[in-house]
Chain A
Amino acid sequence: MSKDSGARRGDSGTVSPGKQRWVEETLQPALRKAAERPGPFTTVSDFPVERLVTAEDIERIDPDGDIGLPGEFPYTRGVHPTMYRGKLWTMRQFSGFGTAAHTNQRYRYLLSQGQTGLSVAFDLPTLMGRDSDDPMALGEVGREGVAIDSLADMEALFEGIPLDRISTSMTINSPAAVLFAMYLAVAEKQGVALETLEGTIQNDILKEYIAQKEWIYPPRPSLRIITDIMAFCAERVPRWNTISISGYHIREAGSTAVQELAFTLADGIGYVQAGIEAGLDVDTFAPRLSFFFNAHNDFFEEIAKLRAARRIWARVMKERFGARDPRSWKLRTHVQTAGCSLTAQQPYNNIVRVTVQALAAVLGGTQSLHTNSMDETLALPSEMAVTIALRTQQILAEESGVASTVDPLGGSYFVEDLTSRMEAAALDYIRRIDGMGGIVSAIEAGFPQREIAEASYHYQLQVDRGEKTIVGVNKHTGAGTGGEQEIPILKIDLAVERDQLDRLDRLRKERDNRAVERSLAALQADAEARSNLMPRILECVKAYATVGEICAAMKRVFGEYREQPVL
């Protein structure tokens, strides 16, 4: 495609007649008088952007089969018929720091401010399945999230919060089964029936190997734990979302929007395949799979990405996996604005970035949303910053009017065309991954990791050369003009680590250690056998075995993952 021809070539390689006339009579004379900005005109992901898309350019897109209507296959226009006229998206701010008691206070604050769901951020030792007194945990306890070592901490985390009246999302992956079991145990103690519990565990191990890097076991035993959770929930906790298949971290690691779309859906295909291979009927677990995407700066690219994701998933589930239940076809998703797009320079500008990104998520049809706080490149969010982030969502929902109609961008020539082009590019990646034997083999070969590393280095060089603009960083830096912006920073007291270690020490002394040993031995035996691990993990948790102890018992059977770093 030549930029100077001024025309877009469709699938046939020809320019539509109507546009050809416009190019000759209107565009070319205008370009002769005043050239366009230098360009190239591409998205933040370097995806080409057309000057003008017309009705003729989208004739290849079937208005019924490809776009359709909201609440109907293939769900391009949204998974619900009324979208936000029925129910606004869930405003769910990811939060956690310090000890369980600190985070419990923040949760009560957020709920009192109108937040409608909780989202638990765990600290790194917990995310890695290690206790606070593990040597590797040094300096990390309670720092990036809340420290949870045992059921006692989980009880403190949800103290006074009725689990039958909120839904909770937990960002936890390799030790997900353990933390989920703790949540179930708290619910039982509150007298809440497990059948009524609502929430999500992220439980997406594949993206850990690809991007987020918080793993314990190698991929194949990890997938077995996941299919155990799917089977357990189908029977006992039917309203729980068992995996939140996440593109967010893939994007944060530096992927393009198309790579985020493709690798996330390829991960989803991997989980469905694993479930079927474990002997589960696809319609028993697929309705409980949910997704989690990033909303980056490039407004239309993000909207098109979400629309394309729904269309691809619906077709994959119906046509490739033969799902018959429409709930299995629907891609329901959470979105978080892009942490990696925020700048430490002129941090108040981040409020504006988050607003644009959040609007893209809403126009893209998300089911729930986390808006980042302006200070997240500097530290964990302060209460002021997190409140502004929540208010941003409330303004979009209740003032802007965008929630009053369903998929207002549906039918836009540009958005429909971009949706289809991103879909095609993602399907191309998915075919390549299928050709490698599926996503697990592709990960073992380092394929997605290499593609992302390339994209991230390429983008950084573009930023360094000024080809991609970051306001306040490589342009409009306001150097020497008093443009410095100071904001308050939340500091985590180093005493948190000491307090948590004392708590853990007391627990190990006061619990029935023989019961702990027995439950851990039984779990290890079940890990060696092929029985579902969830009931055993629940027993361990109720005996107050720690996250580290339970994961270590399984590690003895499953081994540990080691990465070959890809530069």
Chain B
Amino acid sequence: MTGETTQRRTRLLVGKVGLDGHDRGAKIVARALRDAGFEVIYTGLHQTPEMVVNTAIQEDVDAVSLSILSGAHMTLLPRVMELLREKGASDIRLIAGGIIPDEDIAELKRMGVLEVFTPGASTKDIVSFVRSAVQPRRG
């Protein structure tokens, strides 16, 4: 498994923030990442940015990947970034997926979101991106 490293396997939190119940994509991504050898924690639905960041820190994950299809991404994702910074955990990387227009993607990346996947992204692309871009933070 290439998700493994000499130190430990990459740990990922896959989550749904806000009231959006569209969990088809998040569950597929969580399963594909797990099948690719990553350690995956799935939050389930209806998480607040605070809940996500707390779980990410407690579970000591290397990256958080959040799925939003409700249009609330420009409110919720910046809030997650801000909380990660406030709690001294900005080395936990943030990846997003969902219905997110191009101009918002550009702005989210400027804010430090590592990557944004939109409808039609294949699980292969997501897995290979995470493999190359997310490393375990420490041994």
Contact = CB atoms under 8 A, between A and B. Distances in A.
A424 interface: no
Interface stretch (A161-169, A190-198, A404-412, A459-467): A459-467
Nearest to B78: A139
B14 to A, nearest CB: 9
Contacts of A254: 24, 28
Q: Is the interface of B mostly helix, strand, loop or mixed?
A: loop
Interface string B71-95: 1111110010000000000000000
A464 B123 contact: yes
Given A212-B21, A565-B44, A567-B42, A138 B120 contact: no
A344 B72 contact: no
Interface stretch (A82-90, A127-135, A237-245, A513-521): A127-135
A457 interface: yes
B21 A453 contact: no
A72 interface: no
Q: Is the interface of A mostly helix, strand, loop or mixed?
A: loop
A460 B76 contact: no
Interface residues on B, range: 35 or more
A340 B69 CA distance: 12
Interface of A: 124-125, 127-128, 130, 135-140, 143-144, 208, 212-214, 252-254, 340, 343-345, 377-380, 453, 456-457, 460-461, 463-464, 470, 472-474, 489, 492, 494, 563, 565-567
A139 B76 contact: yes
A378 B101 CA distance: 6
B75 A138 contact: yes
Nearest to A212: B21
B44 A457 contact: no
Contact of B119 (A135, A139, A344, A489): A344
18 contacts: A124-B19, A135-B48, A136-B18, A136-B19, A138-B18, A138-B76, A138-B79, A140-B19, A140-B72, A214-B21, A253-B23, A344-B118, A379-B101, A457-B27, A463-B122, A464-B124, A494-B74, A567-B27
B45 A464 contact: no
A139 B72 contact: yes
A143 B44 CA distance: 22
B38 to A, nearest CB: 13
A377 B119 contact: yes
B114 interface: no
A455 to B, nearest CB: 10
